[in-house]
Amino acid sequence: MSSGEAEDLMRMLRDSAADYVNRSDMARDVRAWRGKPEGYDFARWNEMVQLGWVGLRAPERCGGMALGVQECVALLAETGRGIGPEPLSAVGVLAMRALAGGEGEHNDDLVAGLVEGGRVIAVAWQEAAGALHASECETRATPTANGWRLTGVKDYVHGASQANVLIVSARAPEGVGLFTVQPGDKGVKLETRYFTDGTTCHRVHLQDVEAPNFFCVAPPGKGEAVLDAAFDETRIAASAEMFGLSQRALDMTLDYLRQRKQFGKAIGSFQALQHRAVDLYVTTQMMRAAIDRAARAFEAADARDKALIASACKARCSDGALLIAKEAIQMHGAIGYTDEHDIGLFVRRAIKLAAWLGNGAQHRKRYAALSPALEQV
């Protein structure tokens, strides 16, 4: 694909997503579904499936579009503006890339199910708050005659509310592997919890759950690398979502500064607020630059450079999204603290995404540990 064709494709993706977001009252959906176990409207999820968004990164042999990270972030930056509760990054990126990176016999079938809409797949990997790496795994996979027996507890599982398959990381004698189970399997128990923004997450209890060899996504010893690679791509995807919601929050704030009057003038005419607004605009442009650089460089990089690229991007965007969220609330004044005003929805989503897969401080520390230049300091 030529550079011109690639630009045209990304423009079409952005326009399509922007049109969908503008036609859909996603803020209403957030309010309607927060605090409910289902988490989101499955009919709207199916619309996203039919638009090809879930299969954007899936290979063509599975019915996907086989597009790259640049196209993916172009889409998610627009859907991020809508802050819908659907788990596009958790399912369409994290689960999809974990399956694409594994060697399981049935991985292609699972990917095809995601692309067609017949399956929703969530990744159950995290056990402790603040975990960053697939190696942080205490769930055990014990060998059996036909496969593995899984025992442990996973927490903060995104996208599991309507999932019919879970990809579970577990440690075997050979190392971490990735296994699939179903929520209804014997020994599997899901406990519904909620993030700051009201979207669902789950604690998954596994007690002697049978996982046949055929349902292994990545064999023990290879699951860690597969999952860490999927994490890094998802960090860039989440950064794109944060960029989109930050742009929208800033737009809403600027509109408010133009409309709200004090001392007979629009408060946006006050120089102190103008300077703060400019600082926030600069922050969005720094976020955009970080995402563009990461998306262009990611696919051709080796594992170490991918980690550096993803951490730099996530640190920049997590910090930027939180700054814009806090400033947006303050510039709105008292009304910004009310549940009735939409700006609060953007703040809560920023808090959730900024922490997911590592916050800014964690990724700066990770970058410093991985950077060859900093090793010599």
pLDDT of residue 1: 61
pLDDT in tens, the chain (377 residues): 666 777 888 888 899 999 999 888 888 889 999 989 999 999 999 999 999 999 999 999 999 999 999 999 999 999 999 999 999 999 999 999 999 999 999 999 999 999 999 999 999 999 999 999 999 999 999 999 999 999 999 999 999 999 999 999 999 999 999 999 999 999 999 999 999 999 999 999 999 999 998 889 999 999 999 999 999 999 999 999 999 999 999 999 999 999 988 888 888 788 999 999 999 999 999 999 999 999 999 999 999 999 999 999 999 999 999 999 999 999 999 999 998 999 999 999 999 999 999 999 999 999 999 987 655 44
Domain boundary, last residue among 93, 116, 139: 116
Per-residue DSSP letters for 141-168? EEE-SSEEEEEEEEEEEET-TT-SEEEE
Query: Does 238 share its domain with 138?
Result: no
Query: Does 194 share its domain with 316?
Result: no
Query: Does 245 share its domain with 185?
Result: no
Query: Does 53 share its domain with 137?
Result: no
Is residue 204 a contact partner of residue 165, using CB atoms and an 8 Å limit?
A: no
Nearest to 327 by CA among 282, 277, 267, 287: 277
Query: Does 107 share its domain with 155?
Result: no
Q: How many other C-beta atoms are found inside a 10 Å radius of the C-beta of residue 39?
A: 26
Sorted by sequence, the CB contacts under 8 Å of residue 290 that are 6+ apart come out as 239, 312, 313, 316, 317
pLDDT of residue 377: 44
CA-based radius of gyration for the chain: 21
pLDDT of residue 215: 86
Q: 176: domain CATH number?
A: 2.40.110.10
Enter the tokens of residue 183: 């929520």
Q: 26: domain CATH number?
A: 1.10.540.10
In whole angstroms, what is the distance from residue 354 CA to residue 91 CA?
18
Count of domains in the chain? 3
Which residues are bridge partners to 161 per DSSP?
A: none
Domain boundary, last residue among 184, 219, 254: 219
Query: Does 92 share its domain with 188?
Result: no
Query: Does 137 share its domain with 71?
Result: no
pLDDT of residue 375: 54
pTM of the model: 0.95
pLDDT of residue 374: 57
Domain boundary, last residue among 193, 219, 245: 219
Query: Does 142 share its domain with 43?
Result: no
From residue 63, alpha-carbon distances to 50, 55, 217, 361 in Å are 12, 8, 19, 39
Query: Does 151 share its domain with 237?
Result: no
Enter the tokens of residue 62: 């599975």
Q: Which residue is associated with the tokens 């995290």?
A: 126
Containing domain of residue 170, as a range? 121-219
Enter the tokens of residue 306: 């991918």
Which residues are bridge partners to 194 per DSSP?
A: 200
Q: Which residue is associated with the tokens 């899901």?
A: 190
Query: Does 71 share its domain with 154?
Result: no
Sorted by sequence, the CB contacts under 8 Å of residue 341 that are 6+ apart come out as 332, 335
Query: Does 209 share its domain with 250?
Result: no
pLDDT of residue 8: 83
Query: Does 209 share its domain with 263?
Result: no
Q: 368: domain CATH number?
A: 1.20.140.10
In whole angstroms, what is the distance from residue 257 CA to residue 209 CA?
56
pLDDT of residue 115: 97
- Which amino acid is residue 62, in one-letter code? C
